[in-house]
Structure 1
């Protein structure tokens, strides 16, 4: 019996802190005590291989490249960079791009990509993502909330269930060239779920976002260690907010001084690719707040040039990895 079938048999609605009937601790968690559904959840969860994996693999096999955007620390501009990366790739009209917002408790991509307040639709093919341009689709829990101010207070099991649905049920079309997955900070439930579910079809690798200061690099080291333990190829590190370039005089100032050499020194130490540095530009925040493409409004900005160079290096790194796999 699948988790969705179990949900249909529940006696009462799931309580607020329910781990979810698809969780490995369903019926056994502290939140399950006294719940009318406890016996149903604990006795009927399927044992053995996940029955949804074949469907997930079938869906993901239609996607050519899958990239995780990671950061060990919040506030480094990971989601902002994800939106910039999505816009930059979608500038090539021959490519089909998908962005998946896995920051379940703090989804921000809909706002940044101009899809705030939209809703998804379901058809025989699955969930249809919200398209912010002809070749850029977006999926986020934000599209499922009746009120954008509602807090998502979920344990790991329910988060895992939603991630599984995103991977299994979202119909991106016949072919998707790039799926950019924006993850929350850290190395927790969401990261473990998406990497385990996507393991068989393969992930091209992870793009790690940091800022120059040592307090961010400390957490980035943990993220790099997570990737190594999870078997995820590190495509490279990008240093965000690397100095401030005045839009008028073009003078650059160091806002967050790299006391230990910043992201580039870290990459040299750990022998991983450094994709480049992106300077601060207040107009990026303005465009993200209004859901507009920064490159359309400020194509000559130093930040625009830096981001596009990072995207070119990222694509080169993906091709290098593919070629090395063919040789091996």
Structure 2
């Protein structure tokens, strides 16, 4: 099912609550706005937030003779999405499953979804270095994975957890594209002064420690929260914002490295 996918990118973090799903969805939307055909695979089984972030919670997954048909965000089918959130009757339902059942579901997501031709598949993973990560890697090992984007926040406790994720990547042979530091300062909308609410520089220090590229700092912007469930790219809704500039840079970095 992944034969038609040109590039696969994992979005990882050893820490929960760092905005990994927001980075995944906005990166996918930015690539889509840039003219690429994109898919998002949400394998965070216990906290599937991608349907909410893309305003797709009322959508259903359908079976075809080939396999599961992903949910498309628009009629041109340029952005496809698969998540367990589409299989739950209520967004508040909890997924109380043991490891083997989680593993079986992830295998189905990877092997049975009809993605067709995609330029990029973004895989949004759960926090930590659990069975879900290992299952994903075991099932795409035969494919050429471009690598992982590691998401952290600036404070030390987050950086320490994310360091474990980087160790996991190195042990399992996952290339690391680079590190994104999310929630990196709050820019006042009135005076434009930046306040480092969660400390500063943690992502850069981690990058220097583990010798992997530092990709970008994403500042806190209240407008992102207001538009979180609209399913729109920051490049469209807030084209002049610092956040939009960051995602434009990320798309340039990712596409440039693939062209090279």
Please list every run of 5 or more consecutive structure 2 residues that lacks an aligned counterpart in the other structure. Answer: none
Matches of 1:317 and 1:241, distance apart in 2: 26
**Number of equivalences:** 258
- 2:168 matched to which residue of 1? 226
CA shift for structure 1 position 287: 1.2
Matches of 2:189 and 2:249, distance apart in 1: 19
Q: Does 1:142 align with 2:142?
A: no
- 2:236 matched to which residue of 1? 296
CA shift for structure 1 position 318: 4.0
Root mean square deviation, CA, Å = 1.3
CA shift for structure 1 position 296: 1.7
- 1:245 matched to which residue of 2? 187
CA shift for structure 1 position 249: 2.8
- 1:116 matched to which residue of 2? 57
Matches of 1:82 and 1:247, distance apart in 2: 25
User: Normalising by the residue count of structure 2, what TM-score does the alignment of the two structures yield?
Assistant: 0.95
What whole-Å deviation, never above 9, does each CA across 1:163-210 have from its counterpart, x for those lacking one?
11111111112x111000000000001100000110011211000000
> Which of 112, 119, 123 is the aligned partner of 1:177?
119
Q: Is the 8 A contact 2:154 2:182 kept in 1?
A: yes
Instruction: Give the 3-state SS of the residue equivalent to 2:219 in structure 1.
Output: coil
Q: 1:319 to 1:220 in 2, by over 3 A?
A: farther
Please list every run of 5 or more consecutive structure 1 residues that lacks an aligned counterpart in the other structure. Answer: 1-58, 321-328
- 1:81 matched to which residue of 2? 23
Matches of 1:319 and 1:243, distance apart in 2: 32
Structure 1 or 2: more strand by fraction: 2
Matches of 2:225 and 2:125, distance apart in 1: 20
Matches of 1:108 and 1:119, distance apart in 2: 15
